Structure 1
Amino acid sequence: MRRIYFLAPDIAITKQIVDELLMARIEERRIHVIAKRGTPLENLPEANLLQKSDFIPAVEQGLAIGGSTGILAGLVAVVLPPASTVIAGGVLLATTLAGAGVGAWVSGMVGMTVGNRRIKQFEEAIEAGQFLVLVDVSSERIDEIEKCVRQHLPKVEIEGTEPKVPAFP
């Protein structure tokens, strides 16, 4: 999946974008709208915490760093005299899983408090009253969706695509 970013000047055009996307058979759960705090979105699909924060990248980083730290701690524990070769594999596995779990949890908590890095570049436009529409589509449909939106809504700025989107948000 890839994420396309559209910047719309007002709510009427944002509604048209969402309608065009729905008619192009994009599921509503794949469309996310971000607006200035306090702006009523009416029936538009609002972006949730996963789209507005750096939660997913933070969890991924926490898993990697925590897992690496856990492996190192497990290797140190295996080298120490009380550990025997029979329990060495269990110790190594347990410390790796514990490290990855703790790393993901701590990083996820931090990531929820940090705004999405990709969205930061749109903060001025959002605060000025524009609407940011995020659309998650398969790589094959990017050109089709961009062309469809440009054709019907020339006032909309297509702000590019993100390389990949995690499967679960």
Structure 2
Amino acid sequence: MRRIYFLVPDITTTKKIVEDLLLQKIEEKHIHVIAKRGTPLEDLPEANLLQKTDFIPAVEQGVALGGATGLLAGLVAVALPPASTVIAGGVLLATTLAGAGVGSWFGGMVGMSVGNRQIKEFEDAIEAGKLLVLVDVPTDRVAEIEDRVKQHLPQVEVEQTEPRVPSFP
């Protein structure tokens, strides 16, 4: 799956595009609309917290950093006497898992408070009243979906294509 981003000037056009995407068998859960705070989206699929924040990348970074820190702490604990081989494996595993858990928790907390880095460049346009549409599509359908969007907005430029989209949001 790839995520494509494009700006739409108004709600009416956005509704037409979303309807067309639904007819093209893009599920509603793969379409996300971000608008200026207070803009009524009516029945458009609004982006949730996972799309609006850096939660997932922050959790991934937290797991990596926390796991590495836990592993390092476990190695230090094993290096100190007295350490037996059986206990050493358990200590390494426990500290690595604990570090990964704490790191993911802290990373998630930080990620929830930070806006999505991918949509930062669109903030001015969103504040000016445009709507940002994010669509998750199979890689082989990106060009097809771009063409469908251009039928509604010939001047639209697909601003960005994200190379990898997490499968669970």
TM-score range with shorter-chain normalisation?
over 0.9
Q: Does 2:115 align with 1:115? A: yes
Q: Is the CA contact 1:9–1:156 (under 8 Å) kept in the aligned structure 2? A: no
Aligned twin of 2:52: 52
Runs of 4+ in 1 over 4 A off after TM superposition: none
Equivalent position amino acid for 2:163 in 1? P
For the residue of structure 2 that corresponds to 1:122, the secondary structure is helix
CA distance in 2 between counterparts of 1:19 and 1:6 reads 16
User: How far apart are 1:8 and its partner, in Å?
Assistant: 0.0
Uncovered stretches (5+) of structure 2, i.e. residues with no partner: none
TM-score of the pair, normalised by structure 2: 0.97
Aligned twin of 2:81: 81
Equivalent position amino acid for 2:6 in 1? F
Equivalent position amino acid for 1:137 in 2? V
Equivalent position amino acid for 1:158 in 2? V
User: How far apart are 1:23 and its partner, in Å?
Assistant: 0.8
CA distance in 1 between counterparts of 2:86 and 2:65 reads 27
Give percent identity, aligned residues only.
76
User: How far apart are 1:155 and its partner, in Å?
Assistant: 4.2
Aligned twin of 2:147: 147
User: How far apart are 1:152 and its partner, in Å?
Assistant: 3.5
Aligned twin of 1:21: 21
Uncovered stretches (5+) of structure 1, i.e. residues with no partner: none
For the residue of structure 2 that corresponds to 1:121, the secondary structure is helix
* Paired residue total: 169
Q: 1:52-92 CA deviation, whole Å, 9 max, x = no partner?
A: 00001100100110011111111111111132111111110
Q: Which moved more, 1:34-43 or 1:84-93?
A: 84-93
CA distance in 2 between counterparts of 1:6 and 1:19 reads 16
Q: Is the CA contact 1:62–1:104 (under 8 Å) kept in the aligned structure 2? A: yes
Q: Is the CA contact 1:8–1:155 (under 8 Å) kept in the aligned structure 2? A: no
CA distance in 1 between counterparts of 2:156 and 2:19 reads 14
Aligned twin of 1:71: 71
Q: Does 2:36 align with 1:36? A: yes
Equivalent position amino acid for 1:42 in 2? E
User: How far apart are 1:167 and its partner, in Å?
Assistant: 1.1
TM-score of the pair, normalised by structure 1: 0.97
Q: Does 2:102 align with 1:90? A: no
User: How far apart are 1:10 and its partner, in Å?
Assistant: 0.4
Q: Is the CA contact 2:13–2:152 (under 8 Å) kept in the aligned structure 1? A: no
Equivalent position amino acid for 1:105 in 2? W
User: How far apart are 1:112 and its partner, in Å?
Assistant: 0.3
Q: Is the CA contact 1:8–1:157 (under 8 Å) kept in the aligned structure 2? A: no
CA distance in 1 between counterparts of 2:122 and 2:28 reads 22
User: How far apart are 1:50 and its partner, in Å?
Assistant: 0.3
Aligned twin of 1:3: 3
